Each structure stands twice: as structure tokens, then as C-alpha cells.
Structure 1
Amino acid sequence: MEPLSPLDAAFLEIEDADPAVVLAIASVAVAEGPAPSQRELVAEFTARLPLIPRYRQKIHRVPLDLGTPSWVDDPDFDPVRQFHRVAVPGPGDEAGLCELVGMLMAQRLDRDRPLWECWVIEGLAGGRWAILSKVHHCLADGVSGNTLHEVFFREQDRPPPPLRPAEPSPGRMPLLAAALRDMVAGPLTTLRAAFGALTKPRALAGRVTEASQGLEALMRAVIPVSPSSLSGPIGRMRRYELAHASLPKVVAIAKAFDVTVNDVVLAAITAAYRELLLSRGEEPAADSVRTLVPVSVRREVEIGRMNNQVSLMLPLLPVDIADPALRLVTVHRRLAELKGHREAEAGVAVTTSARYGPYAPLAWTIRAAARLPHRNVVSVATNVPGPRHTLSILGREVTDLYPYVPIAMRLRTGVAVLTYRDRMSFGITADAATAPEPGLMAAAIERDLTTLSRTARTKKKKTVVPKRNSSH
């Protein structure tokens, strides 16, 4: 038995607050054919399950929300029930795959079973097939999700250990007793930490200064953005689409403009939101789009842990700027300012402090906030570096890897970015009921990157100094 962190548990509470929300993340691995049989695939995955103990555990809630939910072994776990099979209708193109992914991701995972499932998708063009790996966000973030790629889509150096027997369920009363102990111990732990900090006044002063700067930056996000169609109630169905880019070209753009790859990614997403607003006859104002950008705070030694270790930044995207180059430079400057203000560090401080308080008020607050209308943040944009090496499953090479990010809390769109080998994929999730423009954002992202790449090559040519002919 292991309690969830308040951050992990928050994803459950947000989902519980809105029946239209499904807080599962996913990746779509497209592989060369032919597709293996269901028996082959289940056997291959089952052999590797001991490497991911969380995959055989389910959620056990504490009565009256007196403590955070806990992970417990599922005594009835049967890996066969976690695998499903479906086919894309002809002609098996990318549009058909995206439509199917949107339908599958609109369905909630069963809370009475481990919170993951795999869908084998057959019928793709060229004899290919795919695996949709669907995981609840309370179990993993983008970085820990990459661990799953390494476990299930890569040859192992040694055979995995045998699957250990399931531990018996702790029952409701032991969980309740543990929660009551934690409620008593929490304030004492906080006091011990406070006294420990007082013995190091210089370090304490530095942390207080950083936290206050970051909290000031986070408080600016309380200011509502301009009204737009980007936020509001969402329905149960999802639309999913893809944009593609060459990773070396994106890196070349970043070098030419002296910015980061993440800056280039966010600038392209900004272009998509600008075009979306214009297509709807809405003014892309300077304060129209504030986006939630997750920031990993995972230490190197924690890479393999299945949980969420993220903070956030909340930049305003410059959708009011028409020029792609100027838009990129503005994105870079705004992100640099937020990093300088320690906004991500303040987010860590907030989530860390939540560990020491009673869980019930936190859970009730999260559910209430998820139901209330707001216009502080209108989108989510996440960028996760994926494997640079080739993945495979049962001898079939994985040719493409696509990401999926869920939407919730009145955010009608979200964009996830994942790199694989020398490719970059943008997975765009939208509320199907309020996003009638299929392909618009994906095309805008690709168009913006093409323009920036052309500008970057021009800049590079201008910086080359021609050699003088030497005379002897």
C-alpha cells in the first residue's frame, strides 16, 4: 500500500468533478506490420509487468476523504482484461487513426481495475498497426511515461524478475487508521521542518525570497484573460489531430534565433491559436491566451518512478503578433522572465506544502475549483523529449510515436509535443463539440515552422562572412 501524493490525487478529484472529463494521457506507437496476435502481445507485455509494479495496482479511497487515496495490489488482476483490439476503417490513413484515438480517449478508465489499458489498432495503410497506451494521469506524467516506452518497446538486457504474488487488500479500517495517524503527524512534521529551517537562516532567507518572487508571478495568473471561445464547458467527445516537424530543423531554428527548442515549439503553438481565433472572427488580443506549461522537477534518480513530479509556468502567448520571427522572440523573452521570477519553484512549494495538511479540505477545494467558471488559463501545452533511439515490439520497428494530452477545467484545447528519433509530433486534443475546424491548428503549426525555418536559413546566410581572395 502506498498513498498517492496530493498532486497525483488531484487528477482524480478533477476528473470526479466533471463527468465529461477523462484525465488519461497516452502515446500512439505506429509499428511495421504485420500486427502480432493478441496472445503474443499480452504474453510479451505480461512478462515485463514486474518492472512496473504500479501496473498491477488499483486505487483504494479512504472513507470521508480523511486521507489521500492509496495504491493497493489488485487481487483479481488479469492482464488479458487490460488489452483490447480494434481496426481503423479504410483507407487506414492518419485522419482515420486520429478519429479512432479521439473516440478511445473519450472513455474513462475503470477505477475498479489498474488505471491503464492498451489498444491494438489494426488496418493502417502500408500494412502497419499501432498500440495506443492509455494511462491515467494520477499514475504518470510525461517524463515517467517515457519510462514505459523503454520498458515495453525495447529489448531488455536481462529477463525481468518473476511477478510477485499480490498483497492482500488492507481493507477500509486500516486505511482509515493510517489516515488518522497522518492527520496527527502532519502538523508535527511541519513543525520539525520549520525548526530545522531556522537553524540555517541564510538558506531559509534565500528560499523565502525565491518563493515570494515565484508566488508573485503565479498570482498574476489570477487575472482573467480576454473572453474567447477557447474556454468554457466541454462535452464528452474529443477530436485529435497531428502536426509533424523535423527535429533537426527545429533545432536549427532555435540556434539561428538564439532561443531554446521549447521556445520554438511554443511559438508554433501560438501561431495555431492566433489562426484559430482569426478563423472564428475573434480578435487575438495580447491577453487572449494564457497557457499552462508543465515543467518537470524530477531528479535523475527518480526517472523510473511512476508518479507526477511537475510544476508549471503560465505564460501569456503573444497571439496578437502577426510576424512569426517577432512572435518567437517574444515567447523566448516571456519564458525567460518567468524562469527568472522562479514561477516553477513557487509551484513546487505549493504542491509540497499540500503534503502536510489534511486531505479532505484539499480534495473539496479542487472539486469546487474544477466546477467553477474561470478565464485565467485557456490551454495546456506540454513538450516531452522522447527516445532518440529506435523502439520495437516483438521484432517490429516502431516508425512513429505520437502524444495525447487530456483537457479539463473548461480548457477546450491542449497540445502535447513528443520527439522520437529525428521527428517531432504535435498531438492536438480538442473538445469535439466546440472545435469544428478539423486540421486547422495542425496546419498552422506546420506552416509557422516552415516560415521560421526559411527565415533561419536567411539569417544563417547573412552571418556568413565571405573570404577575401589573398594576393601573393
Structure 2
Amino acid sequence: MPQLTALDAQFLNIETATNVANIAGLAILDGALDRADLQALLGRRLPYVPALRRRLAPVPFGLDHPYWAEEDDLDLDYHVREIGLPRPGDDRQLAEQVSRLHARRLDRSRPLWEIYLVHNLSGGRTGLYTKIHHAAVDGIGGADVLAALLDTTPEPPTGREDPPPGMGEAPPGRDEPPPGQAEMVARGLARLAAN
């Protein structure tokens, strides 16, 4: 039942309609990438990436920093999206599209990440734009997430159960659930009194 640190909670609190706290990356891939294949890869790799399996569990009345709760029914159809650029699909069009995607806030009722496959790039390329809320990962954590999700060689592991490179033999266990509403309120009031 990890609770957000003060710094992580600050990344949530600074967001407005015009200010977002997303960390993002854009990869340009040679050739095409299929959404179903990407979802299948994510389905195998997500057990190794706790940050992408957690959603916020707010404390009643905002008395304390939210907790992370493990999402039991992760909806990859929601989190993995695809769009196509109009021809010619040049870098300027891609930059404009990524700018629009990045400016949108993430849905706080779901795990705080989205991946977009961007089709129709010039030269037969495909874009892979990933955005994760800064409250869920920092810069180093974001690099760890990408390392778990992407292969480092052109030949990916052959077995369905192969762990991502550098991730160990077994995925980490499940998080304990966050405390119940009454306990969250009691802890929040105790922290307020202590402060």
C-alpha cells in the first residue's frame, strides 16, 4: 500500500487545465507496429512494472497524500491507442500531434499512463509516444519502465514467460491494498495534528 510522497503528490497538485505533469517519450520505429502485438507484449511485461499497474486511491476530504492501489482489471484497450497522421506524415505534423497528446491530462481514475501508436509517418515509419504521470515515475523510474517494456535487441525473447532484460526471473508480488476509508481519515488527521 505505497503512499505518494510529498513530492509525488505535488506533481498532482500543480496540474491545471493548462499545466500538466507528464513525462513522455517518443520513439520512431522503422516499419509498422501492430496494436494487438503491442498489447500482447505489454500484457506479458506489465507484471514486471508496478508503476503501470497502479491507480490513485485518494484520501477522503484530501486530508493526506493519496495512496497507490493495484488495478485488478487493467484495460489495455484504453491505455494503448492508435492514430494516423494525414499524408505526408512529416516530422512537423508528428510534433504537432505529440504536442496535442501531451497537453491532455491523464484520467486519475485509471493508472496514469497512455501509449499511442502513430501511423502514416513518412518513410514507412511508426511513432510510439508514451506518456506517464510524473507522480507515478521520476526520470530514472521512467527509464526503468521503458527498459522493461522495450527489447534491447532486434530479436526479442522467444518464450511467452521470458522476463524483460534485467528484470529478474519472477515479477514482483502484488502490493498490499491501501487502508480503508476510515483508516485513511484517521491517518490523515494524525498527520495533520503532527504537522
Q: What is residue 186 of structure 2 aligned with on the other side?
A: 177
Aligned equivalent of 1:40: 37
Equivalent of residue 29 in structure 2, options 21, 28, 31: 31
Q: Which amino acid aligns with 1:2?
A: P
Pairwise CA RMSD:
2.3
Partner of 1:59: 56
Question: d(CA) in 2 for partners of 1:123 and 1:163?
Answer: 37
The residue aligned with 2:141 is 144
In 2: Cα distance, 1:62 partner to 1:169 partner = 10
Query: Counterpart of 1:10?
Result: 10
Q: Is the CA contact (8 Å cut-off) linking 2:69 and 2:175 kept in structure 1? A: no
Quote the Cα distance in structure 1 between the aligned partners of 2:172 and 2:118.
27
Q: After superposition, give the CA deviation of every residue in 1:397-443 in whole Å (9 maximum; x if it has no partner).
A: xxxxxxxxxxxxxxxxxxxxxxxxxxxxxxxxxxxxxxxxxxxxxxx
Highest CA radius of gyration, 1 or 2?
1
Per-residue CA shift, 1:37-77, capped at 9, x if unaligned?
Answer: 21111010121112111211111111232211111112332
Q: TM-score, normalised by structure 1?
A: 0.36
Give the deviation of 1:165 after TM superposition.
6.3
Find the residue that maps to 2:72 and give its secondary structure: coil
8 Å contact from structure 2 (residues 59, 185) kept in 1: yes
**How far apart are 1:92 and its partner, in Å?**
1.1
Distance apart, 1:22 and its partner CA: 2.0
> What is the aligned-residue identity percentage?
35
1:200-279 alignment runs, 5 A limit: none
Distance (Å, rounded) in 2 between the aligned partners of 1:67 and 1:165? 23
Contact kept? 1:118, 1:134, Cα under 8 Å: yes
Deviation sequence 1:228-287 (CA, Å, 0-9, x none):
xxxxxxxxxxxxxxxxxxxxxxxxxxxxxxxxxxxxxxxxxxxxxxxxxxxxxxxxxxxx
Structure 1 partner of 2:167: none
* One-letter amino acid of the counterpart of residue 31, structure 2: G
How many residue pairs were aligned? 183
Query: 1 or 2, which has the higher helix percentage?
Result: 1
Write out aligned runs for 1:403-442 (5 A). Answer: none
Provide the C-alpha distance between the structure 1 equivalents of 2:106 and 2:116, rounded to a whole number of angstroms.
Answer: 13
| 1:86 CA displacement | 0.3
Q: Which residue of 1 aligns with 2:107?
A: 110
Alignment of 1:241-390 (within 5 A): 357=195
- Contact in 1 for aligned 2:57/2:178 (Cα 8 Å): no
C-alpha contact (below 8 Å) 1:75/1:166 kept by paired residues? no
Q: Are 2:79 and 1:91 aligned?
A: no
Q: Distance in 2 between matches of 1:150 and 1:56?
A: 16
Q: Distance in 2 between matches of 1:150 and 1:54?
A: 13
Equivalent pair of 1:75/1:168 in contact (CA under 8 Å) = no
Relative distance call for 1:149 and 1:93 in structure 2 (3 A) is: same
Do 1:25 and 1:134's aligned partners in 2 also have CA atoms closer than 8 Å?
yes
Retained in 2: the 8 A contact 1:120–1:132? yes
Residue identity in the other structure for 2:52: Y
Structure-1 residue corresponding to 2:162: 159
Alignment TM-score, normalising by the size of structure 2: 0.83
CA 120–80 in structure 1, closer or farther in 2 if over 3 Å, else same? same
AA at the equivalent of 2:8: D
Please tell me the residue identity of whatever aligns with 1:177.
Answer: A
Supply the distance in 2 between the matched residues of 1:4 and 1:71 (Cα, whole angstroms): 7
State the match for 1:261 in structure 2.
none
